[in-house]
Amino acid sequence: MKIIVRCHQCGPNEEAALLEIANENLHQVICDKGHESSLVITQQKHEILFEVAVHAIVDGYYREAISSFAASLERYYEFFLKVISVELRHEEFEKAWKQVASQSERQLGGYIFTHLNIYRTSPPILPPPLVTLRNNVIHKGNIPSRIDAIKFGDAVAKIINDGCNLLRRTKEDHLNEIIRQTICPNNNSNYPAQILRTYLNCLIESELPPFEGYLKSVQTHNKARF
C-alpha cells in the first residue's frame, strides 16, 4: 500500500514522495526536493492490514481484500494478547507466541480463553458463515463478490474496534505501552511520528463510521479501469 506523507524538512504545506508501507513501523522517505528523512507510523499491524484490505476493495480485488481482513484479525489477536501480557518478559511472550504463530486456530483459542479469563466472558468472534467464506476464499480458491468482501470487512472491523475499546477502558496503561513500543522502535523517540488516516485506530476509544461510507471516501493510486 502506498500513501502520501509530509516532508518534515520542507514544512507543513509540502508533500513528500509516495511512502510504501512495509512490515516495520520505521520508514525512510525522500521527498520531491531530495530530502531524506525517517518517520514512524503509529498504526498497529492489524490496522495497516485492514487498510490494505480496504484499498483492495476500492481497486476491485475482493479475494485479496478478504485475505487481508483475515490477516488483520489474526494480528489483532496477537495485539490483544501482547497488551494483556505486557508485564511479562518480552522474551517469554515471544517464546510462547512462536508455538501458535503459524496456526490461526491456536491464536483464536488463546484469544478466546485469555479474554474469558480476564473479562469473565467470551469475546465476539466471526459467525460460522463468514468463517466458511474465509476458508473457501483462502483454502479453496473461491472468488468472492464485493458484497462478500464488505460484509467480511465490516464484521472484522466491529470485532477489532470493540476489543480495542475494551482494552482502552480497562487496560489503558498496558495499551499505551504497546503503542509506545511501536512508535519508539529500539526505544528511540527521535523519529517524527506520522498518524495515518485509517478506519481502525486504537489510539483513542471510538465508534466506527459506516463502512460503506468510508470505502467511498478512500482514493488509491490506481485509476479506475471500468
Residues 27-55: pLDDT tens digits? 777 777 887 877 788 889 999 999 999 99
| Dist CA 151 CA 138 (whole Å) | 16
Residue 221's pLDDT is: 62
In a domain, 30, yes or no: no
In a domain, 186, yes or no: no
In eight-state DSSP terms, residue 177 is H
Give the residue with greater pLDDT, 122 vs 26.
122
Residue 6's pLDDT is: 72
In a domain, 91, yes or no: yes
Residue 11's pLDDT is: 67
Give the residue with greater pLDDT, 11 vs 149.
149
Residue 181's pLDDT is: 85
CATH number, position 73:
1.20.120
| Dist CA 202 CA 184 (whole Å) | 16
Distance of CA 129 to the CA centre of its chain: 23
Question: Does residue 200 surpass a pLDDT of 90?
Answer: yes
Instruction: Name the domain count of the chain.
Output: 1
Question: Percent of the chain, pLDDT > 90?
Answer: 64
In a domain, 148, yes or no: yes
Going by pLDDT thresholds of 50, 70 and 90, the confidence category of residue 191 is confident
Q: How many other CB atoms sit within 10 Å of the CB of residue 197?
A: 11
In eight-state DSSP terms, residue 191 is S
Terminus-to-terminus CA distance in the chain, angstroms?
Answer: 21
Please name the residue that has the C-alpha cell 508501507. Answer: 21
| Dist CA 108 CA 17 (whole Å) | 39
Question: Percent of the chain, pLDDT > 70?
Answer: 92
| Dist CA 183 CA 195 (whole Å) | 10
| Dist CA 149 CA 134 (whole Å) | 10
In a domain, 185, yes or no: no
Question: Does residue 215 surpass a pLDDT of 80?
Answer: yes
Stated pTM of the model: 0.89
Beta partners for residue 19, in sequence order: 3
Residue 86's pLDDT is: 93
In a domain, 149, yes or no: yes
Residue whose C-alpha is closest to residue 8's, from 194, 206, 212: 194
Handedness of CA 208, 209, 210, 216 (dihedral sign): negative
Mean pLDDT of 60-79: 97
Domain residue limits at 89: 45-180+204-217
In a domain, 223, yes or no: no
In a domain, 132, yes or no: yes
Question: Does residue 225 surpass a pLDDT of 60?
Answer: no
Residue whose C-alpha is closest to residue 70's, from 8, 133, 21: 133
Going by pLDDT thresholds of 50, 70 and 90, the confidence category of residue 12 is low
Question: Does residue 223 surpass a pLDDT of 60?
Answer: no
